[in-house]
Structure 1
Amino acid sequence: MPVVSLKEIVDRAFAERYGVPAINIVNDLTLEAVLAGAVDARSPVIVQTSVKTVKSIGSDVLFAMWTAMTKDIDVPVTLHLDHCPERAVITECLDRGWNSVLFDASTLTVEENQRQTVEVVAEARRHGAHVEGEIEAIKGVEDGIGADTEPARQSLDTAIRFITETGVDVFAPSIGNAHGVYSATPELDFERVTDLVQATNIPIALHGGSGMTTQQFGDLIARGCAKVNISTALKIEFMKANLAFLKQAEAGDKWDPPSLFRDVRSHIVSLTTGLADTFGSAGKAW
């Protein structure tokens, strides 16, 4: 199965009401492990890169890694640029071959956000790529983007107008979700998702998934959240697995990097397969 478009993945998930893990990777090890987990689960997967990751690794190297690791993959996968407020980075990634982008202009007025999103959609279409849009910031800072204040909620009519007039392929609403670690189970506006889906019939992206309950995931996915973003959970798993292994290495005075890599990889593979099970995408590869 070659790399496919974001729209092909989310439209199937939306129609069948399962969620696809959209996982932010941070390096080559996590990229390979997420892909391996998707293969093990026979699940489609959306691999996401933050602006910070693109800049730290470099788009050329990052895309070369992606191309090499997906050359013979036999489950549907796609490469997505997460929360990007920088038009130059969007252009860079589309030019390199990213399959989709989230243009995050949520700090702008809705009118200016909409105007620029129309331009981004047109640019993406020239590359055969797709666009996720949003008009409300998601609370919390993720890889240097965002704020810890509660975002202002736009009216339902404003959101519907934005979706229909920009032609975005996926929409990410603010429903009480947040990036980072929740201090308590979040109070979510489930009806907002239902209202948007009924009005536009567009797949919804659920941000701030790390820390939501299985019941909340199930409810939101059934309402039309076809793309479920996971970033913080991977970072925590990656760093805690490294820390635990290195503590054991220090205690035993055994320093073998390949053993570290294998151990950390197993944790990320398990995280990915677990997410596929939770979201209902396991066994949905075509």
Structure 2
Amino acid sequence: MSVVPLTGILSDAYKERYGVPAINIVNDLTLEAVLAAAVENSSPLIVQTSVKTVKSIGYDVLYAMWQSMTAGIEVPVTLHLDHCPEREVITECLRHGWNSVLFDASQLPVEENMRQTVEVVAEARRYGAHVEGEIESITGVEDGIGSDKAAQQQSLEVALEFLRTTGVDVFAPAIGNAHGSYKQAPVLDAERVSAIVAAYPIPIALHGGSGLSDEQFRDLISRGCAKVNISTALKETFMKSNLAFLETAAQKQKWDPPSLFTAVRGDVMELAGSLMRLFGSAGRVG
């Protein structure tokens, strides 16, 4: 078990049609909590770090936290750099030991995106790491990256050319999903996932997972979405849990940081565990 390559987690999930939560952590507490949830639920887990989180904590400190908390862990876990348009950040993460990266060149013309993604894949391979790619921006801004303007959807032929040319290990298509909180129920193009997978079998990454219905999750996972990204839901759980505890502390005039940490950890664990059970990854580690 312990730390494994991204494809070591996604190959079984894709083949057996269950989803693995890819959860964006924000600090040491959330990292420890989602790892504990994975152990408690006998589930594989993808831990994601945004560029903002990497820069705020620092490569060395963040990776040291990861190494310490995953030492001897009993379930397969992997460390992934989420949406990153900055090549230098990708290089530093790979050099420090991240297992995979999402090179987000979706703002570039497809041809330039492909050219640079080929380079990133070659760089990642030198470290035994994997790459997630995309050719369309996922609507919404997450940790300062992205746009609220919906991106133009590329044709199936263009998507397939990108996959064949770059050799990415995971693909993140735009299907009407969005980062952040949905203002209304999203209308998703689930058939696009099926069409891509039928033409080019590859694990699909579902972005903008926070706020989708259970039925939408199950349908998309059954079509090949083996990696299910969750960021906003963790941030909201973390912030609201802190707020609720501190409001009570203020009323009681009782200030005990360890109790705060325990309460927030429990709420984050419950969120992560509920996702593992919903996506079907719970109980997959024998």
Q: How far apart, in 2, do the equivalents of 1:55 and 1:285 lie?
A: 33
Structure 2: unaligned runs, 5 residues or longer: none
1:35-46 → structure 2 map (5 Å cutoff): 35-46=35-46
1:72 deviation in Å? 1.3
Equivalent-residue separation in structure 2 for 1:162 and 1:55 (angstroms): 30
- Partner amino acid for 2:107? T
- CA-to-aligned-CA distance 1:211-263 (integer Å, 9 cap, x gap): 00000000000000000000000000000000000000000000000000000
Where does residue 176 of structure 1 map in the other structure?
176
For residues 191-230 of structure 1, the aligned pairs below 5 Å read 191-230=191-230
For the pair 1:3 / 2:3, whether they are aligned, the reply is yes
How far 1:185 moved relative to its partner? 1.4
Q: 1:2, 1:281 → 2: CA distance?
A: 16
* 1:47-73 deviation digits (Å, cap 9, x = unpaired): 000000000000100000000000010
1:105 equivalenced with 2:114 (yes/no): no
Looking at structure 1, the residues matched to 142 and 222 of structure 2 have their Cα atoms a distance apart, in angstroms, of 26
**Which letter maps to 1:90?**
I
Q: Deviations over 1:141-168 (max 9, x none)?
A: 0000000011111111000110111000
Match of 2:12 in 1: 12
- Trace 1:42-121 onto structure 2 (pairs within 5 A): 42-121=42-121
Give, in whole Å, the separation in 1 of the partners of 2:10 and 2:184: 29
Structure 2: distance between partners of 1:131 and 1:108: 17
The alignment yields a C-alpha RMSD, in angstroms, of: 0.5
SS at structure 1 position matched to 2:188: coil
Q: Cα offset for 1:179?
A: 0.1
TM-score, normalised to structure 2, is 0.99
SS at 2:131's partner residue? strand
Structure 2 partner of 1:153: 153
SS of the equivalent of 2:79 reads: strand
Deviations 1:35-55 (A, max 9, x none): 000111100000000000000
* Cα deviation digits, residues 100-144 of structure 1 (max 9, x gap): 000000000000000000000000000000000000000000000
Taking only the aligned residue pairs, the percentage that are identical comes to: 70
Give, as a single letter, the amino acid of the residue that structure 2 aligns with 1:89: V
Give me the TM-score of the superposition, normalised by structure 1.
0.99
Q: How far apart in 2 are the matches of 1:81 and 1:101?
A: 4
- Match of 1:28, as an amino acid? D
- 1:235 is paired with a residue whose SS is helix
Instruction: Give, as a single letter, the amino acid of the residue that structure 2 aligns with 1:46.
Output: I
Q: Secondary structure at the match of 2:216?
A: helix
For residue 184 of structure 1, report the CA deviation from its aligned partner: 1.5
Counterpart position of 1:234: 234
